[in-house]
Structure 1
Amino acid sequence: MGYFYFSSQILNRMNHSAVAAAAYRSGEPLYSERDGLTKHFGKRKVVPESFILTPKNAPEWVMNRERLWNEVEKIEKQKNAQLAREIRLALPNALNNDDQKELILQFCKENFSNKGMVADIAIHRDKENNPHAHVMLTVRPFNENGSWGNKRQKVNKEVNGVMKKVSIHLTNWNEKETLIKWRENYAERINEKLNERGIEDQVSHESYKNQGLDRLPGIRLDRTAFQYENRVKEQAIRNNVPYEPVTYYGKINEEIKQINSELNKINELKKQQVVSLSEFKNEKSLTEQIDAIRNSRKLNDTERKALSVVAQRAKSYVDYLVAKQVKDEIENGNWNKKINSDKLKIISEKNLLNKAYKVYQDDPKQVLKYGFSPSKFMDQMKEKVSQIKALEQKNMEDVTKLNMFLTKADQVLAIQSELTQKEFSVLYQSSNTYSADEMYHAVQYFKETNKILREDEVPDYAVSKYKEHEINTPSLAEQTRNISKSIFILDRAIRRQMKERLTALKEQNSDLVYEASRRIEQFRLQKDRHEKDLAGNVQLLRMNLQNKYYDSLDLITDVEVLLRLQDHQDKGMSSGSVERDLHEIHQEFTKEMNDKPMDNSFTPNQQVEHQYSQSVASGLFQALEQAQRANENKKHEKDPTEKKQRRRYRGQELDH
């Protein structure tokens, strides 16, 4: 089987100059209007053969290479715009130069210029055994009058059950199927030309696997690595020593050669004898067995659509970890938060309307403080109810859509968990039970290193990989402080909205009154939810602290005071006495507050922090006083001498 090479890449404006690319490939100096420089890469020992093929609607100036690519750079103005597509093709060594030229021109005309592209072709023969061609193609079609056409067009299209405006390509030049067809066509043209010349050799555009060949493909080295390996090989020949690869991929290619040699021997033996299924399985490499798991997994239409949705959302290839991340993002991401926020706004507005309606039944004039007019109350109420129903409908649609995505994410995660488990079973015949995360990371380790972890290393390795991507979860104290601050901020927000409502009432601005009332209701709902969360956290804090102090914490109600005691304990500074520790904390905090006086340069956030700190200082002072009183009372209760003195003072006799 002959050598076949066909690769494609996009040259974009961000990283490439179309003029410079054309100058290098053609060997001509070309002036670039984009930066005012002439692109010239020096003289070559073997001058490239270059040609330009044009479609029927193209203007005459496209035959001028310099103007062609400058015009391309003028029309493709976006920062990341595609300037050109480059196709690189190997030319068969078995053909002479004229045949090679005829082959490439015929192929480019049929597949590129006849389809509407300008094809700028350069044949390179710098290396005698490596003749190849570079073909730069325009990516924008021409109109019938010779002007540039559009690459994309916006159309109405159904996306996940919703009609949206989407941008579609007006040609099929970017599609994967088109690239595959070009590869197939080039292989066919090569084989036809070889047949014409009576050469028995053939090429194929398909992989060894698709050709049914039991061989591993080699890895194409980049130019630097290839030249370096050649120098090492020539030096080994001169020194009469065995050649050993030095680059990473050079070593891998050498291993692939050895494996292919072994496979050839096995294939020869297979021709002579029939092997059992188990023996054949053992002969296959672990990598092949793992690849076969995914390749052989057939998806039904529902699974295929689910996988497509998750892949589009992730914008990457989907495996177990990606599927898990997408599901987590749907469950806990900004989309779900917005839905819950909208739901809270709806509930707060419904509560407000219920309060206004009850007030209207008792005293119609009182509805003014909710932004309603007593004389138009029922009409205004109907309008508000109608608006809320529309919001509820929209919110329900969003919830339905989110749940649909979540269902698809669950399906894909189940598929990927199943595949991961099967891949893991190829590497480990284990009776131990591992989590899906542990199995995934063990399989990934093999795919990346071609090595297998010991079974006892699997859990620890998974933990280490998890920590690499772990988002630091706030501690109980951090969570509690954040909730406490949120409640403090919501209290301030409620007071501010009450002032705004009062001002709006004086100005008789009913819209502002209504909006302020709605926000008050919303902030109160948020505060109630935070207070429920806070109660559970405070209970855990008290239990933890009570084990460390011999005096009682029952009198301390301020959350921040409990948190300060917890911080004191975490730093190893706890004395075991609540009063003593509170005294130290109060002194430290007072010094800290004095070092940061309030001034006019504070931002709004800094002002809130300062006010919160003042409330903390007040809470610390009250807690310290309470602890001192409690300890004083406890001391008197336990002192028999003072008890007798008090009895004597009341005129009672002492006990004998």
Structure 2
Amino acid sequence: MAIFHLEFKIVKRSEGMSSCRKAAYHARCKITDDRTGNTYDFSHRSDLFHHQILAPASAPSHIIESSTALWNEVERVERQKDGQTARYFDVAIPCELSNEDKIKLVVDYCQKNFVDEGMIADIAFHDLDSQNPHAHVMLTLKPITAEGFGKKDRSWNDKKNVIKWRESWATFSNRYLAAAGSDARIDHRSIEIQHDEAIENATITLDTEEKALWIAKAALTSRPAMQRIPRAKWNSQTAQQQRAAEQAVRDEMKQEAVATYGVFKDLDLQIVVDLNSFTVSHLPEPVEIILTDTGSQSSSEAQKPILVAPVPHTRTKLKTTSASTPGAIKRAPVKSKREQVPLKKESIFKRFTVLVAEFFKERFIWAKKKKPAPVSVDAEHDKHIAENYVFDEVQGIYVSRSEHEKRVRFNSDNYKPSPAEIRRFPSRPKEEQHKADKALDYTPAPPPVSRRNRNHPSTKPSGFNKNR
């Protein structure tokens, strides 16, 4: 099963990652990080099939002799405590290839896209004999020369490179699949984009064979994308059920694509189309199709296509109203050979293609739902303002209708506050207020004490003389 999976990530110290640990995990070996002193041991895992390091010809041999030497050097030359040390990705390899071709495919891809640009690629192949063959690749972020690593090449971080690298993997894989005699192909684009492209091309193309291929592609891509399952959950029952269900949907779409292609590749005028259930079948006998000319000025009833009941032992005929005499119908047999087909047949096929495309758009999951007729935003806004707001000529702004009514009532001559509006300080009669003031028991303040006439005993000792 050839599937596309290629995902790029970065080893970042700011996230607590180490290129030595990542390399030890990929190569299923034991590596000690000289910078931190940590040792990472994954030698107990047994799914490593092959390991290989690719480097430019100018790379020093002592750096690329092993993953331990390579990534310890990378960690040593990176000075920033929160720096980035490596780029890595894992890629799914087509099962249709032999183990030798699987290794050669990944090596050729890495050599062309990364090593020739100055990077070092550390490649580890896992599970090549299983149903999930894949490779882990780690790439350096600094170009390598005979003197060692240089400064980081920032152009490698361009997002356009990711698209280019993904497309290149699809190209390499399809080339190897074709050489191996397999009909399987992969595409780096999403299922949604592929489906939209197939619908669009099926609508605009005029060649019957090409149209059938695009309609079959639309049927094949009318499914959700298969979800990636983490390695830790591969053997779980839930993951196996999920993958089995996704594979069943994919196989069903493949069968439907083959059947769709078989129907449309030899499509001619001798067909019956039931637009209610959209079933296409060949007629037991040819029929006559009356199709009005779109450029004529005949009545609306004459403009509608009419399907005449089949007559035994007759040829399929195309009947078109004449522009000069709308009431008259010229009958002419339709030629069986494509090079002799009149231009009107092309028009019929175009219209039928539009019906096919609309059917796929309505049926498939990626189709956009019909939107209701747009409502005038301005009309709705004006209605909302008229119902809930009133223009205040004094302030020159719109205020809520409830606030406006409150202000009008308050400013009227006969306004009296309601009991609900009198809550905190109700007014009292003046007589009660006067009695309440007299009833207060005030405590007189003590008279002020002067410095000369003190009414309290002095704290100075007797016989104290200030001038002494």
Q: TM-score, normalised by structure 2?
A: 0.52
Judging changes above 3 Å, is the alpha-carbon distance between structure 1 residues 541 and 104 closer, same or farther for their aligned structure 2 residues? closer
What is the DSSP-based 3-state SS (H/G/I as helix, E as strand, rest coil) of the residue aligned with 1:140? coil
Q: Which residue of 2 aligns with 1:9?
A: 9
Answer whether contact 1:29 1:38 (CA < 8 A) is retained: yes
One-letter amino acid of the counterpart of residue 265, structure 2: K
In structure 1, what is the equivalent of residue 307 of structure 2? none
Question: Does residue 179 in structure 1 map to residue 187 in structure 2?
Answer: no
Residues 396-441 of structure 1, C-alpha deviation per residue, up to 9 Å, x if partnerless? xxxxxxxxxxxxxxxxxxxxxxxxxxx5xx424x4573769x9xxx
Q: Is the 8 A contact 2:60 2:146 kept in 1?
A: no
Alpha-carbon contact 1:143-1:149 (below 8 Å) kept: no
Q: Name the structure where helix makes up a greater proportion of residues.
A: 1
Task: Give distance in 2, aligned partners of 1:289 and 1:121.
Answer: 38
Kindly provide the amino acid, as one letter, of the partner of residue 123 in structure 2.
I
Question: Which residue, 419, 426, 436 being the options, matches 1:575?
Answer: 419
Question: Do structure 1's residue 269 and structure 2's residue 263 form an aligned pair?
Answer: yes
Q: Distance in 2 between matches of 1:123 and 1:575?
A: 86
Q: Is the 8 A contact 1:54 1:113 kept in 2?
A: yes
Q: Which runs of structure 2 are paired with 1:390-401 in the superposition (5 Å)?
A: none
- Select 2:370's aligned residue among 398, 408, 427: 427
**Could you say what secondary structure the match of 2:89 adopts?**
strand
Q: 1:539–1:105: structure 2 CA closer, same or farther, 3 Å change rule?
A: closer
- The amino acid that maps onto 1:273 is L
Return 5+ residue gaps in structure 1 as ranges.
Answer: 152-168, 233-244, 292-422, 439-475, 477-531, 555-564, 566-573, 585-623, 633-656
Q: 1:537 to 1:41 in 2, by over 3 A?
A: same
The Cα offsets for residues 446-469 of structure 1, whole Å up to 9 and x where unpaired, read as xxxxxxxxxxxxxxxxxxxxxxxx
Give yes or no for contact 1:92–1:100 (8 Å, CA) kept in 2: yes
Greater mean deviation of Cα atoms: 182-191 or 127-136: 182-191
Opposite residue 44 of structure 2, the aligned amino acid is K
Q: Name the residue aligned to 2:209.
A: none
Give the corresponding residue for 1:40.
Answer: 41
Q: Tell me which amino acid in the other structure corresponds to 1:227.
A: N
Contact persistence 1:550–1:576 (CA under 8 A): no
CA contact (8 A) 1:25 1:48 kept: no
Aligned counterpart, 1:23: 24
2:30 is matched by which residue type in structure 1?
P
Deviation, structure 1 residue 120: 0.5
| 1:203 maps onto 2:279 in alignment | no
- Partner in structure 2 of residue 228 of structure 1: 236
Q: Secondary structure at the match of 1:227?
A: coil
- What secondary structure is seen at the aligned counterpart in 2 of 1:114? helix
Deviation at 1:280, TM superposition (A): 0.7
Question: Which residue number corresponds to residue 54 of structure 2?
Answer: 53
State how far apart, in whole Å, the 2-side matches of 1:179 and 1:251 are. Answer: 30
The DSSP-based 3-state class of the residue aligned with 1:583 is: coil
Change (3 A) 1:80 1:268: farther
Query: Aligned pair in 2 of structure 1 residues 538, 123: CA closer, same or farther (>3 Å)?
Result: closer
SS in 2 for 1:83: strand
- Equivalent in the alignment of 2:139: 137
> Do 2:119 and 2:140's aligned partners in 1 also have CA atoms closer than 8 Å?
yes
CA drift at 1:90: 2.9
- Which residue pairs with 1:375 in the alignment? none
Contact residue 125 and residue 132 of structure 1 kept, 8 A: yes
CA–CA separation in structure 2 for the residues paired with 1:14 and 1:85: 14
Q: What's the offset of the Cα at 1:119?
A: 0.4
Q: AA paired with 2:108?
A: Q
- Report if the CA contact (8 A) 2:4-2:188 is conserved: no
d(CA) in 2 for partners of 1:14 and 1:289? 41
2:27 and 2:119 map into 1 onto residues whose CA distance is: 18
CA shift digits 1:283-323 (9 cap, x unpaired): 314486976xxxxxxxxxxxxxxxxxxxxxxxxxxxxxxxx
Distance 2:81 2:402 in 1: 55
Structure 2, unpaired ranges of 5+? 199-213, 269-348, 381-388, 434-468
Contact 1:26 1:48 in 2 (8 A): no
Aligned residues: 308
Per the alignment, residue 461 of structure 2 pairs with none
Partner of 2:406: 544
Q: Secondary structure at the residue paired with 1:20?
A: helix
Displacement of 1:27 after TM fit? 0.3
Cα distance in 2 for residues equivalent to 1:539 and 1:220: 55
Three-state SS of the structure 1 residue aligned to 2:46 is coil
**Aligned partner letter, 1:433:** V
Correspondence for 1:280? 356
Task: Find the counterpart in structure 2 of residue 68 from structure 1.
Answer: 70
Aligned mates of 1:535, 1:427 — CA distance in 2: 40
Residue 272 of structure 1: how far off its partner (Å): 4.1
On the 8 A contact 2:409/2:415 being kept in 1, the answer is no
Cα separation, 2, equivalents of 1:283 and 1:538: 50
Kept in 1, the 8 Å contact 2:121–2:137? The answer is yes
> Would the aligned equivalents of 2:141 and 2:152 in 1 still touch at CA under 8 Å?
no
Does the Cα contact within 8 Å between 1:85 and 1:137 map onto a contact in 2? yes
Q: Deviations over 1:8-64 (max 9, x none)?
A: 333333343322211111001111345432112341234342111122444444314
1:255 Cα offset (Å)? 4.5
Other structure's SS at 1:39 match? strand
- Whole-Å separation in 1 of the counterparts to 2:59 and 2:101: 28
- Hey, what does 1:596 align to over in structure 2? none
CA pair 132-150 structure 1, distance change in 2 beyond 3 A: closer
TM-score by length of 1: 0.39
**2:101 aligned with 1:99:** yes
The equivalent of 2:339 in structure 1 is none
Aligned CA RMSD, in angstroms, stands at 4.7
C-alpha deviations, 1:600-647, integer Å up to 9, x for none? Answer: xxxxxxxxxxxxxxxxxxxxxxxx8xx999xx9xxxxxxxxxxxxxxx
How is 1:167-566 mapped onto 2 (pairs within 5 angstroms)? 169=154, 171=155, 173-190=156-173, 193=176, 199-201=181-183, 203-207=185-189, 209=194, 212=214, 213-214=217-218, 215-216=220-221, 218-223=225-230, 224=232, 226-229=234-237, 245=241, 247=242, 254-255=248-249, 257-273=251-267, 276-286=352-362, 426-428=369-371, 430-431=372-373, 433=375, 544=406, 547=409
Contact 1:187 1:204 in 2 (8 A): yes
Q: Which has the higher contact order (CA 8 A, sep 6+)?
A: 2
Q: Is the 8 A contact 1:54 1:117 kept in 2?
A: yes
Cα distance change of structure 1 residues 279 and 147 upon mapping to structure 2, 3 Å threshold: closer
* 3-state SS in 2 of match to 1:44: coil
Q: Secondary structure at the match of 1:149?
A: coil
Match for residue 211 of structure 2?
A: none
More strand by share: 2
Cα gap change, 1:39 to 1:533, in 2 (>3 Å) = farther
Q: 1:333 matched to which residue of 2? A: none
Residue identity in the other structure for 2:162: L
Q: Does 1:120 align with 2:137?
A: no
Percent of matched pairs sharing the same residue: 24
Task: Give the 3 Å change call, closer, same or farther, for CA 548–286 of structure 1 in structure 2.
Answer: farther
Distance 1:43 1:283 in 2: 55
| Amino acid paired to 2:375 | T
